[in-house]
C-alpha cells in the first residue's frame, strides 16, 4: 500500500533538477487527472491527496503552469 501511495504523491515535481523534466511532469499530471476519477482508489485516500495537493501547489509557485484540467482537479482535491 505504501508503494501505491508513493505513486500518487508527485514528489518528483519538486525534486532536484525537476526543471529538466517539465514536459514529462505535465504529461504525468494530465494522465493522473484522466486516470483517477474523484474519490476512487488509493489516489484519493487522505494522505496521498494531502501530499499531492502540496506538491502541485509548490510546483505551480515555482513558476510552472498547471494545465486547466489539473487546476480543476486541484480544486476538487482540496474540497475532497
SS3 state of residue 35? helix
Report pLDDT digits (tens) over 6-54: 999 999 999 999 999 999 999 999 999 999 999 999 999 999 999 999 9
CB–CB of 78/37 below 8 Å?
A: no
User: What is the distance between the alpha carbons of residues 60 and 63, in angstroms, rounded to a whole number?
Assistant: 6
CB atoms within 10 A of CB 36: 17
| CA of residue 71 relative to chain centroid, distance | 10
pLDDT for the residue numbered 26: 98
User: What is the distance between the alpha carbons of residues 75 and 23, in angstroms, rounded to a whole number?
Assistant: 22
pLDDT for the residue numbered 12: 97
Asked if residue 1 has pLDDT above 90, the reply is no
Amino acid at each position: 500500500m505504501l508503494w501505491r501511495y508513493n505513486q500518487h504523491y508527485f514528489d518528483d515535481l519538486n525534486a532536484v533538477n525537476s526543471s529538466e523534466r517539465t514536459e514529462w511532469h505535465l504529461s504525468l499530471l494530465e494522465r493522473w487527472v484522466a486516470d483517477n476519477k474523484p474519490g476512487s482508489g488509493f489516489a484519493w485516500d487522505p494522505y496521498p491527496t494531502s501530499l499531492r495537493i502540496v506538491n502541485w501547489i509548490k510546483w505551480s509557485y515555482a513558476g510552472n503552469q498547471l494545465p486547466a484540467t489539473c487546476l480543476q482537479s486541484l480544486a476538487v482535491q482540496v474540497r475532497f
